[in-house]
Amino acid sequence: MVVTVAEAKTYTADEYLALEVESETRSEYRNGAILPMTGGTPIHNQITGNLIFLLKAALRRQPYSIFVKDQRLWIPERNIYTYPDVMVIPRPIALQPGRKDTVINPILIVEVLSDSTENYDRGDKFAAYRTIKTLQEYLLIDQSQHHVEQYARQNANQWLFTEYDGEEARVALASIPVEIALVDLYEDVEF
């Protein structure tokens, strides 16, 4: 008996974008592969909602746009299209040439960690994010305890890592004039 293994179909970026526009669910594109995005937990959504509220309040009337989950980001050096949990982008927003739905110039990206994405968010995804010339800061937020990891760009190949633990901790963002108290970030979250 001969067993054959079907080769995974690869897609061009144009094929992915055409499918994504028509799709009711979001998918990430990684250099030819289309990967469905998983849904979030109530805790994940609570933390993300709290963060959006805090950023919106702190950045009112300032030249920044805040995007959450459904905004596609293109990372050309890695041939990746993805949907970060939260992005802050200075105005004017830069779009991928020829597109009206895909941004390219975030200064802050935030991911709320989950068991299924934590390794990717820390590893290959962060490596891809680091190729974005405009990116100044990357935050990883734990959804099982009061814990935030901050990576702030120091120069082209150097990032400063700082971690914050406990309700009393406060994160001073490096990319925008905002300070976030973990007690506020995790408000109403039951671990």
* Rounded Cα gap, residues 11 and 87, in angstroms: 26
Please report whether residue 61 resides in a domain.
yes
CATH number of the CATH domain containing 75: 3.90.1570.10
The parent domain of residue 93 ranges over 39-185
pTM of the model: 0.92
Instruction: Read off the tokens for 152.
Output: 């702030």
Does residue 109 sit within a domain? yes
Number of domains in the chain: 1
- Cβ 61 vs Cβ 113: under 8 Å: no
Q: What is the pLDDT of residues 77-113, one digit of tens each?
A: 999 999 999 999 999 999 999 999 999 999 999 999 9
Q: Is residue 166 situated within a structural domain? A: yes
**28 in a domain, yes or no?**
no
User: Are 97 and 76 contacting, i.e. CB atoms less than 8 angstroms apart?
Assistant: no
The share of the chain scoring above pLDDT 70, in percent, equals 96
